């Protein structure tokens, strides 16, 4: 398997997700973006480029991915919390 196979898999996922968002229910798109973020962090980990902060983000993303699609309030709150955590981290870099 080539070094770029994981990235081609991610690109395929993103493109098919974009196509799926046209016809799928409203909440599928945001869930797909959460999944894509999780995949990016996973790829970083495979290359030894993740850190404790990204691992914590990944754990929270796993929790979000495990919720009921109808629980929009939890989903939005969880995303808002993650965004704030990432903004704070980026501000300290």
Give the predicted TM-score (pTM) of the model: 0.90
Chain segment 37-76, per-residue pLDDT in tens: 999 999 999 999 999 999 999 999 999 999 988 899 999 9
- Checking if the pLDDT of 30 tops 90, the result is yes
Query: pLDDT at position 52, please?
Result: 97
- Checking if the pLDDT of 2 tops 90, the result is no
Q: State how far Cα 65 lies from the chain centre.
A: 9
Domain hosting residue 37, numbered range: 5-92
d(CA 49, CA 12): 22
Number of domains in the chain: 1
Query: pLDDT at position 69, please?
Result: 86
Q: Tell me which residue has tokens 């993740």.
A: 50
Task: State the CB neighbour count (10 A cutoff) for residue 45.
Answer: 14
Q: What is the DSSP string of 32-68?
A: HHHHHHHHHHHHHHHTT---HHHHHHHHHHHHHHTS-
- Checking if the pLDDT of 79 tops 70, the result is yes
d(CA 9, CA 25): 23
């Amino acid at each position: 398997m080539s070094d770029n196979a994981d990235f081609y898999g991610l690109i395929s996922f993103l493109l098919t997700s974009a196509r799926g968002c046209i016809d799928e229910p409203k909440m599928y798109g945001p869930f797909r973006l959460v999944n894509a973020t999780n995949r990016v962090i996973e790829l970083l980990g495979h290359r030894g480029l993740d850190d404790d902060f990204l691992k914590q983000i990944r754990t929270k993303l796993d929790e979000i991915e495990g919720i009921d699609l109808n629980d929009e309030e939890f989903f939005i709150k969880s995303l808002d919390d993650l965004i704030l955590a990432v903004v704070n981290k980026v501000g300290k870099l």
